[in-house]
Structure 1
Amino acid sequence: MEKIVPIFYSLSKSMQSIHKSSCDNISTVQSTIIYELSLLSKPSMQMVADAVGMDITTFSRQIRTLEKKELVARTPFEGDRRIHILSLTEKGRQVVNSINEIIAAKMKSAFATMNDFERETVLRSLQALDGKLQESKGKEKG
């Protein structure tokens, strides 16, 4: 297990580098926010803030910036005007799709040097690791 820490940091830096180079005119934090928004249906600000692991004050500043860039729209919830529902604008959906396509192409390039067995093994292993990390994150909150 002593090898895991260097692998963790190396993989983290590599993924962050891919993410950063895929984002044009927005930060990786903002990219993560709009990606999460693309997955959720009519989420509240608090729901998305929780999904990206951000406190609501910092998250609100990021949403204001994304609104100014016309990527996100904020609408008061009909039942409680204190709650705001977030949605992607058409421009926001285009940005998410563009970033996802760039990331997919870069990952495809990295996987291209592997044979089918290696590719499938890495993908299954990453999915298993992600599942276990999500489980442990849920246990920490509970």
Structure 2
Amino acid sequence: MRNYYIEINEYLYKLIKNTIFYDRNGILLNGVVLSITDILVLKALGDDKEKKMYEIIDDLGLDRNTFATIINKLLQQQFIIKTKSKRDKRVQILSLTEKGQEAFCEISDKEKKILFSLLNDFSFNEEKAILKFLVKLDMLHKEKSKEQEEMQ
């Protein structure tokens, strides 16, 4: 067995458990409670300024009902606006409002501060090892996703 298997497994379990907790209970941002999925949608829009709805659904791997609920919440809270594409009226375009852009910037700043404070305790080689681990986790996820698609 690997040297730190038990400890790594325990901390991965805690990470997943905490992620689920924050997604269910939300994260307070400027007086509004947002789920992790809400934040991911804002980040998807913040990077590109605007996106087609189906692109975000595909990028985040969400089902349409879940996505519709999230979009309605973000529309109601005035973080985003929804318009029809000028080229194809069937296509809906989402973009951030000024409030949404401010939230996106605050989210990005908080993420950066947290990550920098965490990485301050690691050497360059340790950072490389963390990155290698995360890349391998991502590759594993992609392999599993591909296997599931092939089975369907």
Shorter-chain TM-score tier: 0.7 to 0.9
Q: Does residue 99 of the first structure (1) align with residue 135 of the second (2)?
A: no
**What SS is found at the alignment partner of 1:137?**
helix
Residue of 29, 47, 57 corresponding to 2:37: 29
Residue of 129, 135, 140 corresponding to 1:127: 135
Residue of 56, 62, 68 corresponding to 2:64: 56
**Cα distance, 1:92 vs structure 2:** 1.3
Matches within 5 A, 1:70-109: 70-109=78-117
Q: What do you get for the CA RMSD once the two structures are aligned?
A: 2.9
Report what 2:51 is aligned to: 43
8 Å contact from structure 2 (residues 52, 91) kept in 1? yes
Q: Does residue 66 of the first structure (1) align with residue 70 of the second (2)?
A: no
Counterpart amino acid of residue 67 in structure 2: F
Compute the TM-score of the two structures, normalised by the length of structure 1: 0.78
| Structure 1 residues 7-30: Cα deviation after superposition (integer angstroms, max 9, x where no partner) | 432232455678888651222221
| Structure 1 residues 76-113: Cα deviation after superposition (integer angstroms, max 9, x where no partner) | 12343232111122321221121121122112222222
Q: Which runs of 5+ in 1 are unaligned?
A: none
**Cα distance, 1:39 vs structure 2:** 3.4
Percent pairwise identity? 24
Higher relative contact order (CA 8 A, sep 6+): 1
Compute the TM-score of the two structures, normalised by the length of structure 2: 0.74
Report what 2:13 is aligned to: 9
Counterpart amino acid of residue 52 in structure 1: L
Task: Give the Cα–Cα distance (whole angstroms) in 1 for the partners of residues 137 and 13 of structure 2.
Answer: 15
Change in CA separation of 1:23 and 1:135 when aligned onto 2, cut-off 3 Å: farther
**Cα distance, 1:126 vs structure 2:** 1.1
Q: How many residues align?
A: 142
